[in-house]
């Protein structure tokens, strides 16, 4: 064992997992902000497994092509090309991770926030669950 590092189940391993997740998540988000539509597939292929399961606002879909359609639809927002950013840390218990994001359109147009939950397999995202919008406080 290297001095200053703990076992596979310790903080060092957890830190590596979180860095791997953060990298895949940030690459996924970068597809929304690509300078050209032609770069979207390559970015998604670096972040997602080929059999990724995507639970989005319109239901369940599978594969990078399905996620690409979703990303391209968001990129073609009627208010103009927006910007997607991760606006929280990546919280990762074991192979699941969650993070918050915000999508803003130009000129003070519509703004959407949400939380994604992702599952990682071999350093790539194999499941994405999109929760768009804020959760309202309970009535109690």
- In the three-class reduction of DSSP (H, G, I as helix; E, B as strand; rest coil), residue 140 is classed as coil
Q: 21: pLDDT confidence band, cut at 50, 70 and 90?
A: very high
Q: How far apart are the C-alpha atoms of 95 and 14, rounded to whole Å?
A: 10
What string of DSSP letters covers 6-39? --TTSHHHHHHHHHHHHHHHHHHHHHHT-SSGGG
Instruction: Characterise 31 by phi-psi region: left (phi > 0), alpha (psi -120 to 50), beta (else).
Output: alpha
In the numeric block, the tokens 């929304």 are attached to: 32
Mean pLDDT of all residues belonging to the chain: 87
pLDDT at 126 over 50: yes
* pLDDT recorded at residue 52: 98
* pLDDT recorded at residue 16: 66
What string of DSSP letters covers 55-75? EETTEEEESHHHHHHHHHHHH
What the chain holds in terms of domains, given with CATH numbers, is 11-132 (3.10.450.50)
pLDDT at 5 over 70: no
**Residue 61 corresponds to which tokens in the numbers above?**
């879909």
pTM here is 0.84
């Amino acid at each position: 064992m290297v001095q200053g590092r703990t076992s596979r189940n310790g903080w060092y391993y957890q830190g590596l997992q979180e860095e791997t997740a953060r990298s895949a998540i940030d690459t996924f988000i970068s597809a929304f902000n690509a300078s050209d539509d032609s770069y979207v597939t390559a970015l998604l292929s670096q972040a997602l497994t080929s059999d990724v399961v995507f639970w989005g606002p319109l239901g369940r879909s599978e594969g990078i092509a399905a996620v690409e359609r979703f990303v391209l639809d968001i990129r073609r927002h009627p208010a103009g090309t927006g910007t997607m950013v991760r606006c929280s840390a990546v919280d990762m218990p074991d192979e699941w991770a969650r993070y918050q994001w915000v999508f803003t359109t130009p000129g003070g147009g519509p703004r959407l926030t949400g939380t994604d939950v992702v599952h990682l397999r071999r350093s790539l995202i194999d499941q994405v669950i999109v929760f768009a919008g804020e959760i309202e406080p309970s009535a109690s």
